[in-house]
């Protein structure tokens, strides 16, 4: 519901909201220009100002003092009403006052779209839409990141998702202020807030009526600082019974022109004071710097509208259509899906087709659609992701409450397959909770709970094998995610390592495609149609197998080569194929961006930790560190004589300061050590680097990564930091396989 509340106003009102935001950006410039062009006020009181202006403009009728500090005098010189700019410091006339037609045009456009009250209604609804979008967006973001305390941790996802999140976090307070104050001002324009304009008391009946005194001698005006004045209206010339009418920051009243005494004064009510504050916050009048901040926040709205639309469209596009979906009451297998970004639906569709091929009648539905019962079902298969801090994804929010009312048939079995990213602390937590809840509801587990890390097709296939054994037949699951267009990449050269220590490893360098980049790519300085950075992934499709295998890249497209580091695995379909390649032969591949595994920019240190082929992307980071940010690398191998990968690059990087420190550990030598041992030995240095803001990046095998986590926790224990706390701040990243 909340996601729909966030997306529908954005899609329907996106155009007008973006338009109103941009007109607001233009109007935010006015307070800044007024501040820059208006002289600073002096220490005059109102009596001195009024006298100075009256001496220069004998026909003066009214003086106004704007929130920006600008003073305008209105007078009658026998040729109709005129206006003059007044110096706030001296009271001297600066020249004719001519309102800006530019800002007048945009003010009316912003307020009413030149459609009178109908336009004001549209403007008010636009302000309300901004409030709804900003508030619901922050709630969704907090849920996605795992709670309000993690609201400002590093966001993950595609470029459009990360840009949407970062701009939203920067602009949300300004947008909430602009939206809420805009709603109030719109309500006021329709008279729905009562009297917020302040009310003068009745015209006084006890006027002195004597000869008018010089305005500069009136005691009430002498006691009123210029800073408190909003407007003073002079008595009608020649009418001794008329009075001065004043509007001040505190209220409104009348002053006798003969005695200079207050005849009456009505203080501002609380409604007037609140409305004046709201007006100031919305327009920036009197707070030029705040107006500038609101303008910057509004400037983000068009980009947020575009990125939000892209995110919505991609989510809709990626949700597959389930062909041959059997009605729930007639299905022998129920497949329930819990997904936040739709990727889990692809696995469910593949499972549905595989079951149909073996004679099963399956029904696929979101977990939120769990029925009261399934009379023909023999098994329920749940495929679910976990959202944020271990919570249910969008299509499974109501599953647990529905499960309490579910009536299982006798002998009904179930299996739960969890999807997630192991780098998150609550990896597959909701899926585990689902399995436990279904066991407690009386269902029998068909196969043990299994998890899939980062959409691994191999893990999915293994789970299918286990499920097929329990169902009594083969179940082949070959999930092939939607892939971008592939390229044929020709091998330029290879460097082999590790044969002496029974760990054959090769560094492969491929030529980039020969087709010319697009005009936009050329403008961005790219020489190839492929664009990638170290840490991104290359998906390689081995011959005779449609399932891609992913390898971390050790190069950037700016290097004019695509480089990977691959260890030969016994029976590995792709690794054996790659190890058999000779220069001139080619692979079929595509790039998969991995923006969540990047070193932080700036001056803070970066600690790089890798073992074996995990050094590939880390070496790529070091090679591209032309700004000489302090990088410290911890590398683990077997024997420096056989598998010290990237040794020449690392030595050169130490010499030219692209690498600030290098620690190595080799396990197949006398006194052998592992990389986690090096970390413990450098505990003091690790603590100092982390205290100075260091980010830690780990790449390599899962067992190594677990040992590194334990070592980092050991190093940081004296200062109260942990891997968990660093990960929550976006300062501990893993690329683990």
Q: What pLDDT, in 10s, does the model give residues 35-90?
A: 888 888 778 999 999 999 999 999 999 999 998 889 999 999 877 789 999 999 99
CA distance 648 to 225: 76
Confidence bin at 305 (pLDDT 50/70/90)? confident
Task: Convert the pLDDT of each residue in 317-357 to its tens digit.
Answer: 656 678 889 999 999 999 999 987 678 988 999 999 999 99
Task: Convert the pLDDT of each residue in 102-124 to its tens digit.
Answer: 988 988 888 888 888 888 888 88
Q: Is the pLDDT of residue 154 over 80?
A: no
Reported residue count of the chain is 737
Q: Is the pLDDT of residue 228 over 80?
A: yes
CA distance 296 to 241: 52
Residue 523 has a pLDDT of 47
Pairing outcome for strands 60-65 and 413-420:
unpaired
- Which backbone phi and psi does 531 adopt, to 5 degrees? -135, 120
Q: Is the pLDDT of residue 527 over 60?
A: no
Confidence bin at 310 (pLDDT 50/70/90)? confident
Q: Is the pLDDT of residue 164 over 90?
A: no
CA distance 368 to 399: 5
Residue 286 has a pLDDT of 82
Confidence bin at 91 (pLDDT 50/70/90)? very high
Provide the b/e sequence for 715-732 (b: ≥16 CB within 10 Å): bbeeeebebeebbbebbb
Please tell us whether the domain made up of 319-471 is placed in CATH 3.40.50.360. yes
Domain range 606-736, its CATH number among 3.90.1300.10, 3.40.50.300, 3.40.50.80, 1.20.1260.10: 3.40.50.80
Distance from the Cα of residue 215 to its chain's centroid: 59
Other beta carbons within 10 Å of 574: 20
DSSP code, position 361: -
CA distance 643 to 636: 10
Residues forming beta bridges with residue 552, ordered by sequence position: 537
Residue 12 has a pLDDT of 58
Contact present, 134 and 179 (Cβ < 8 Å): yes
Q: How is 704-733 classified by DSSP, letter by letter?
A: HHHHHHHHHHHHHGGGT--HHHHHHTT-EE
Task: Convert the pLDDT of each residue in 272-293 to its tens digit.
Answer: 888 888 888 888 888 888 889 9
Residue 99 has a pLDDT of 86
Confidence bin at 524 (pLDDT 50/70/90)? very low
Task: Convert the pLDDT of each residue in 575-600 to its tens digit.
Answer: 999 999 999 999 999 998 887 789 98
Distance from the Cα of residue 664 to its chain's centroid: 38
Topology at the third CATH level for domain 487-592: Elongation Factor Tu (Ef-tu); domain 3 (2.40.30)
């Amino acid at each position: 519901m909340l996601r729909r509340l966030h997306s529908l106003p954005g899609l329907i009102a996106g155009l007008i909201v973006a338009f109103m935001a941009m007109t607001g950006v233009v109007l935010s410039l006015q307070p800044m220009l007024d501040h820059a062009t208006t002289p600073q006020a002096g220490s005059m009181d109102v009596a001195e100002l009024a006298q100075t202006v009256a001496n220069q403009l004998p026909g003066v009728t009214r003086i106004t003092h704007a929130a920006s500090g600008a003073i305008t005098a209105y007078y009658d010189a026998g040729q109709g009403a005129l206006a003059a700019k007044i110096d706030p410091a001296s009271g001297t006339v600066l020249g004719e006052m001519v309102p800006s037609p530019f800002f007048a045009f945009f003010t009316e456009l912003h307020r009413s779209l030149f459609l009178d009250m109908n336009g004001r209604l549209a403007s008010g609804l636009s302000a309300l839409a901004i409030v709804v979008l900003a508030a619901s967006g922050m709630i969704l973001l907090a849920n996605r990141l795992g709670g309000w305390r993690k609201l400002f941790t590093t966001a993950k996802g595609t470029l459009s998702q990360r840009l949407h999140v970062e701009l939203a976090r920067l602009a949300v307070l300004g947008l909430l202020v602009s939206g809420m104050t805009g709603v109030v001002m719109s309500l006021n324009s329709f008279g729905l807030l009562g009297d917020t304009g302040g009310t003068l008391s009745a015209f006084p009946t006890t006027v002195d009526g004597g000869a008018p005194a010089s305005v500069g001698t009136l005691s009430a005006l002498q006691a009123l600082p210029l800073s408190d004045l909003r407007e003073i209206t002079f008595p009608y010339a020649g009418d001794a019974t008329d009075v001065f009418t004043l509007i001040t920051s505190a209220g409104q009243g009348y002053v006798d022109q003969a005695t200079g005494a207050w005849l009456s004064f009505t203080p501002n009510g609380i409604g007037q004071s609140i409305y004046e504050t709201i007006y100031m916050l919305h327009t920036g009048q009197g707070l030029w710097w705040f107006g500038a901040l609101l303008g910057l926040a509004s400037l983000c709205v068009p980009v947020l509208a575009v990125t939000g639309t892209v995110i919505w469209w991609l989510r809709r596009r990626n949700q597959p259509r389930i062909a041959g979906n059997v009605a729930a009451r007639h299905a022998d297998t129920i497949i329930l899906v819990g997904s936040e970004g739709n990727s889990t639906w692809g696995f469910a569709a593949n499972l549905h087709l595989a079951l149909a091929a073996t004679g099963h009648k399956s029904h696929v539905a979101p977990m939120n659609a769990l029925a009261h019962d399934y009379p023909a079902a023999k098994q329920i298969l749940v495929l679910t992701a976990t959202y944020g801090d271990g919570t249910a994804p969008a299509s499974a929010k109501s599953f647990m409450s529905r499960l309490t009312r579910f009536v299982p048939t006798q002998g009904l079995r179930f299996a739960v397959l969890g999807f997630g990213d192991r780098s998150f602390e609550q990896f597959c937590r909701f899926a585990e909770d689902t399995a436990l809840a279904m066991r407690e509801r009386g269902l029998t587990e068909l196969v043990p709970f299994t998890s899939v890390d980062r959409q691994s097709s191999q893990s999915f296939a293994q789970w299918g094998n286990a499920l097929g054994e329990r169902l009594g037949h083969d179940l082949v699951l070959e999930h092939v995610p939607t892939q971008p267009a592939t390229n044929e990449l020709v091998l330029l050269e290879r460097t082999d390592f590790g044969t002496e220590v029974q760990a054959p490893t090769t560094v492969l360098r491929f030529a980039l495609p020969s087709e010319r980049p697009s005009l936009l790519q050329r403008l961005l300085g790219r020489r190839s149609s492929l664009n990638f950075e170290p840490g991104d992934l290359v998906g390689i499709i081995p011959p005779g197998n449609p399932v891609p295998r992913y390898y971390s890249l050790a190069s950037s497209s700016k290097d004019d080569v695509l480089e990977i580091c691959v260890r030969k695995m016994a029976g590995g379909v792709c690794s054996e194929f790659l190890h058999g390649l000779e220069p001139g032969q080619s692979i079929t591949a595509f790039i998969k961006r991995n923006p969540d595994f990047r070193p932080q920019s700036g001056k803070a240190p970066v600690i790089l930790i890798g073992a074996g082929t995990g050094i590939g992307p880390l070496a790529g980071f070091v090679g591209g560190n032309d700004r000489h940010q302090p990088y410290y690398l911890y590398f683990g191998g077997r024997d420096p004589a056989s598998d010290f990968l990237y040794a020449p690059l690392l030595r050169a990087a130490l010499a030219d300061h692209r690498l600030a420190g290098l620690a190595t550990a080799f396990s197949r030598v006398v006194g052998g050590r592992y990389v986690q041992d090096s970390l413990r030995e450098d505990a003091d240095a690790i603590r100092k680097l982390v205290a100075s803001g260091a980010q830690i990046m780990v790449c390599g095998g899962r067992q190594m990564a677990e040992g590194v986590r334990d070592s980092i926790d050991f190093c940081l224990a004296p200062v109260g930091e942990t891997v968990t706390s660093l990960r929550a701040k976006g300062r501990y990243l893993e690329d683990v396989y």
